Structure 1
């Protein structure tokens, strides 16, 4: 389907994690180390938080306090009501690589956060890793393992969905009352797990869809918009793996999210590629937007 795609914010280094909160678009910019927010059209751009060790996933506790991933020192930060910033959780002794995206359950305050599992930018062998649960008191618990680059995630009712960028799949877990997770199952499968640990081999042809950042909510028909990190598109996926719609802006898409006043604006975090040595000093990334038919749930 052909859609008008508009620029909301440009001149960024590498944008990620678009979230609609308090009638504003929130997102992060990796290499300028900022959590930002703007009005729906991109005006009134504000720096909400600076994170020297590189921001990633963001979310909010039930009382409105902001949580933000500090990726390279493997912490989750919390912005207090008075604006001060404290460590909410320290995962530095638990994860093998930098932290990645995060989803926060706004009803319970539980956060689920992934990590790379290996040195992606250094070309290390591809390896599975663990998603951790961070409770409202900051305690950290291993929640699910053997996940292939756990990335964008969604809490949908009593279910946690996790995009596995190097796994060709979106995994689902029942969330028990105590926050523990049931067994992994496929919510959507696009292909087989990688058969090689060589990064170039995996990137060169073993990924059918590389699900990256996704909308933090399903839409009202139960579908999920998710970025395809290697396909230059955002795809709308139905449970089971059928792709029922896509948006291709002509550049790389690494995260997306539904928002806007009517829930029908799909925000796209775009850049020419995801390589740190290309993106760190460039300002070619943007947040784009288009209008979709089915709103966020």
Structure 2
């Protein structure tokens, strides 16, 4: 059963469960980053638009996407990474060593521009930036398999999930409906994917077989995140939760330089 936690106008995105159980999420079009805790929702970062990915940092604060990759901690906010020719950054995830993997945008989706080939980059704890995967049309949701050997990447414009392993990229799964937007992985290696305009969330088994569908009667379904066996879901206008009977694979805190 889906439980509604919060509702507003805009496009909610980038759910992140913090260590105290709070859920942080963004409003891509309406602007801002918010924290839901104990039935109350408060603003964390005011006005910032286009945030498609969030991560907790080991030193406190948040790593967030948008027109640049940035860090925010209270009133402190500054750029961590910008790339020539990029229009912004979309979703992100964090590897066990604290490296941040983030999708680069090279088109303007909010202005109706067609997707072009782009890449996922890695920022390691030393601050070194490398390309982790390339030739991806609109990289979106990211997540690691439990053994951390496979990186899953949603390729939104192609309606599919890619698996990147030892520098090689293959098609892992294709959306049964809609598009592949946000992504989360469970401890059994199942991959949960928000299906965009398909108004649902799909679970794929580790071999890419469609296993489960959760219908979300709310139009656009943008992203997912785990807290134990609870799956948080963001849609165009709502933050939802539901128990799915399997624990999520924990996402590490970022350890990239922020000073």
Give the TM interval when normalised to the shorter protein: 0.7 to 0.9
Equivalent residues, number: 245
What SS is found at the alignment partner of 1:88? Answer: strand
Q: Could you state the TM-score of these two structures normalised by the residue count of structure 2?
A: 0.85
Residues 251-278 of structure 1: per-residue CA shift (max 9 Å, x gap):
221111222xxx122211112xxxxxxx
Gaps of 5+ in 2: 250-259
CA–CA separation in structure 2 for the residues paired with 1:237 and 1:132: 25
Which residue of structure 2 aligns with residue 159 of structure 1? Answer: 150
CA apart distance, 1:184: 1.1
> Which stretches of structure 1, 4 residues or more, deviate above 6 A after TM superposition?
none
CA–CA separation in structure 2 for the residues paired with 1:13 and 1:208: 23
Q: Could you state the TM-score of these two structures normalised by the residue count of structure 1?
A: 0.75
CA apart distance, 1:53: 4.5
What SS is found at the alignment partner of 1:31? Answer: coil
CA–CA separation in structure 2 for the residues paired with 1:44 and 1:137: 37
Gaps of 5+ in 1: 175-180, 192-206, 272-284
Written as runs of structure 1 = structure 2, the 5 A alignment for 1:260-279 is 263-271=228-236
Written as runs of structure 1 = structure 2, the 5 A alignment for 1:32-51 is 32-39=30-37, 43-51=39-47
User: Retained in 2: the 8 A contact 1:60–1:104?
Assistant: no
What SS is found at the alignment partner of 2:197? Answer: coil
Written as runs of structure 1 = structure 2, the 5 A alignment for 1:254-265 is 254-259=222-227, 263-265=228-230
Say whether residues 1:287 and 2:239 are aligned partners: yes
CA apart distance, 1:143: 2.5
Residues 199-223 of structure 1: per-residue CA shift (max 9 Å, x gap):
xxxxxxxx855210112xx212210
CA–CA separation in structure 2 for the residues paired with 1:190 and 1:34: 31
Say whether residues 1:113 and 2:105 are aligned partners: no
Q: 1:173 aligns with which of 164, 170, 185?
A: 164
RMSD of aligned alpha carbons = 2.2
Select the structure of larger CA radius of gyration.
1
